[in-house]
C-alpha cells in the first residue's frame, strides 16, 4: 500500500480555478465562481478523505505484520506472562517462548524464492513513442508507478511490483513497491511478483518492512536482480499464521482497493465535468446532479 500505495497512486491534484475569467471562458460573477469552486471541492474533499483512509488501512495492516512476524509480539507477551490481546483462536497459534535465534519456537525462516512467483518473463518494454501511439485504458507500470495508459494488458489480478533497476530504493530507504490489480502492462524495470503459499498482501507488507539495501548492486545504476531477490530471508512463521494473517487483513485491502477505484472515478468525473462548466457547456444544476451520482 505505500506500494504506490504508491502502488495505486491516483493523479488527484486540485483544479486551479484562477482562469475562470480568462478567454475563451464565459464571464462568471463572484457567486458563480464560488459555486463552481465549492463544486470542485466536493471532489477534492472526497478524494482526500479516501486517500487518508487508505493510509490508515495500510498502517493497520503493516502494524499487524510487524507485531506478528517482526517483533513476535504475541509470543513475547506469552513468555512474559502478559495479558491476551488477540482473539483466542489467533492467540493460540503463537508459541509460548522464543528459541535461541530469538524467534518463536518451531517457526522457520525461508528464502524469499520459496514464497514468491516471479513473472518477469511476461514483461514487454514499451518505448515512450510507442506508448503514445498505443493510448488506451490499461495502466502501464515502470519501476516507480504508472507511466502511461495503453491499449492492451499483460497481467490480470492482484500483483506486487518491485523496482528492479534505476529507481529501486527511495531516498528514505523504503522500497519502490506497487500494489496493483485489474488488467495492466509492466515494462522491464519492475519485478512482477505474486505470493506462493502466502497472500500478495502479506508479500507487500514483508517487502515494505525489509531492508533491501544489502541486496542492491551498482553504484550509479542501482539494480535488484532476481538472483539477489531470491536470497532475501523471509519472515519466520508457522504453517498456519500466513493464512490467518490473510484473513485478518483482507478486509483492509478490499476497502483500500474500493477507495482507490472510487478515486479514479472521481478524478475522471471531476476532470471531465469542470472544463464543461467553465466553458458553459453545462450548467451548475446539471453538474450537481452528476455529482450526486458519483460523490
Reported as a pLDDT band with limits 50, 70 and 90, residue 166 is: confident
**Integer Cα distance of 145 and 185 in angstroms:** 11
Residue the block writes with cell 507488507: 205
pTM of the entire predicted model: 0.84
Residue 252 lies in a domain: yes
Higher pLDDT, 105 or 276: 105
Q: Identify the pLDDT of residue 282.
A: 62
Rounded mean pLDDT of 5-27? 47
Reported as a pLDDT band with limits 50, 70 and 90, residue 7 is: very low
Rounded mean pLDDT of 16-43? 60
Is the confidence at residue 13, as pLDDT, over 80? no
Q: Identify the pLDDT of residue 271.
A: 82
Average pLDDT, the chain: 86
Q: Identify the pLDDT of residue 44.
A: 86
Residue 35 lies in a domain: no
Q: Identify the pLDDT of residue 5.
A: 45
Residue the block writes with cell 528459541: 99
- Count of the separate structural domains present in the chain: 1
Q: What is the pLDDT of residues 54-93, one digit of tens each?
A: 999 999 999 999 999 999 999 999 999 999 999 999 999 9
Is the confidence at residue 256, as pLDDT, over 50? yes
Out of 109-118, 192-201, 209-218, least confident range: 209-218
Query: How many CB atoms are closer than 10 A to CB 109?
Result: 11
CATH number at residue 234: 3.90.220.20
Q: What is the pLDDT of residues 92-143, one digit of tens each?
A: 999 999 999 999 999 999 999 999 999 999 999 999 999 999 999 999 999 9
Domain interval for residue 108? 43-294
Residue 8 lies in a domain: no
Q: Identify the pLDDT of residue 31.
A: 61
Q: Identify the pLDDT of residue 280.
A: 65
Cβ within 8 Å of residue 242, ≥6 positions away:
197, 198, 199, 202
Q: Identify the pLDDT of residue 29.
A: 56
**132-23-38 Cα angle (round to 5):** 85
CA 180 to chain centre: 6
Is the confidence at residue 270, as pLDDT, over 70? yes
Q: Identify the pLDDT of residue 120.
A: 97
**Integer Cα distance of 37 and 33 in angstroms:** 6
Q: Identify the pLDDT of residue 267.
A: 87
Quick one: what percent of the chain has pLDDT higher than 90? 66
Higher pLDDT, 35 or 124: 124
**66-212-214 Cα angle (round to 5):** 130
Is the confidence at residue 169, as pLDDT, over 90? no
Q: Identify the pLDDT of residue 268.
A: 84
Residue the block writes with cell 519472515: 235
Identify the CA nearest to 203 among candidates 74, 110, 100: 110
Contact 14, 6 (CB under 8 A): no
Quick one: what percent of the chain has pLDDT higher than 70? 81
Amino acid at each position: 500500500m505505500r506500494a504506490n500505495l504508491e502502488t495505486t497512486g491516483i493523479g488527484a491534484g486540485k483544479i486551479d480555478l484562477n482562469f475562470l475569467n480568462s478567454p475563451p471562458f464565459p464571464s462568471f460573477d463572484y457567486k458563480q465562481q464560488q459555486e463552481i469552486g465549492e463544486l470542485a471541492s466536493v471532489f477534492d474533499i472526497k478524494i482526500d478523505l479516501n486517500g487518508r483512509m487508505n493510509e490508515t488501512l495500510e498502517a493497520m495492516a503493516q502494524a499487524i505484520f510487524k507485531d506478528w512476524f517482526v517483533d513476535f509480539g504475541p509470543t513475547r507477551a506469552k513468555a512474559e506472562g502478559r495479558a491476551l490481546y488477540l482473539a483466542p483462536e489467533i492467540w493460540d497459534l503463537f508459541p509460548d517462548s522464543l528459541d535461541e535465534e530469538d524467534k518463536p519456537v518451531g517457526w522457520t525462516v525461508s528464502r524469499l524464492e520459496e514464497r514468491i512467483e516471479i513473472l518477469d518473463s511476461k514483461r514487454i518494454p514499451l518505448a515512450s513513442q510507442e506508448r503514445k501511439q498505443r493510448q488506451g485504458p490499461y495502466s502501464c507500470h515502470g519501476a516507480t508507478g504508472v507511466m502511461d495508459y495503453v491499449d492492451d494488458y499483460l497481467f490480470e489480478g492482484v500483483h506486487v511490483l518491485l523496482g528492479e533497476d534505476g529507481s529501486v530504493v527511495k531516498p528514505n530507504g523504503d522500497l519502490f513497491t506497487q500494489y496493483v490489480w485489474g488488467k495492466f502492462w509492466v515494462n522491464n524495470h519492475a519485478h512482477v511478483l505474486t505470493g506462493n503459499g502466502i497472500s500478495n498482501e502479506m508479500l507487500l507488507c514483508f517487502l515494505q518492512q525489509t531492508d533491501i539495501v544489502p541486496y542492491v548492486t551498482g553504484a550509479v545504476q542501482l539494480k535488484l536482480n532476481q538472483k539477489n531477490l531470491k536470497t532475501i530471508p523471509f519472515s519466520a512463521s508457522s504453517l498456519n499464521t500466513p493464512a490467518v494473517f490473510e484473513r485478518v487483513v483482507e478486509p483492509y485491502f478490499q476497502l483500500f482497493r474500493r477507495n482507490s477505484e472510487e478515486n479514479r472515478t472521481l478524478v475522471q468525473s471531476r476532470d471531465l465535468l469542470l472544463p464543461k462548466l467553465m466553458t458553459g457547456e453545462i450548467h451548475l444544476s446539471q453538474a450537481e446532479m452528476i455529482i450526486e451520482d458519483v460523490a
